[in-house]
Amino acid sequence: MHPARSWSVGAVGPSVETWVGARFTCINKKVGGQKGWRLPVIAELASLIDPSVAAPGPTLPAGHPFTNVQSLLYWSASTDTENATLAWLVYFFNGNVNSGSKAGSNPFVWCVRGGSNADAY
C-alpha cells in the first residue's frame, strides 16, 4: 500500500525557469500552514493523465478537482538516466512524456505532498 499523497489544487505558472528553481518552489510551498511539498517524480505526474482526453487538453479526467491546469509542460523531479542535464516532463496538451533541459525549459510546476517518494526530499 502506498502512503497517501496530496496534490496542490492549483498549478504554479511558468515563472520558474529551471528545474532546480521548480524543486525549490515546491520545497518552500506552504498551503494552509502545511509544508512538506515536493516536485512529483515522473510516474506520479504521469498518473494524472487521462489518455481518453484528446488534445488540446488538459489531459485530465472529467470532474478532476484541480484549477489553473494549463495544456502545457510540467516539471517532474525525475532526471533522465541517459542524460543528467535533462529532466522528465509531462505535456498536458496531449499527455506526452518527454525529457527537457533542466537549465531553461520554463515549464509549469505542480507540487505534491506525501506519497512513497516523500523521503527523496
Mean pLDDT (whole number) for 8-33: 80
- Domain hosting residue 62, numbered range: 5-120
Reported pTM: 0.85
Peptide bond into 40 cis (omega under 30): no
Total structural domains within the chain: 1
pLDDT the model gives residue 75: 94
Mean pLDDT (whole number) for 29-42: 91
Q: What is the pLDDT of residues 40-94, one digit of tens each?
A: 999 999 999 999 999 999 999 998 888 888 899 999 999 999 999 999 999 999 9
DSSP string, 38-90: EPPPHHHHHTT--TTSPTTS----TT---BS--SSEEEEEEEPTT-TTEEEEE
CATH of the domain at 64: 3.10.100.10
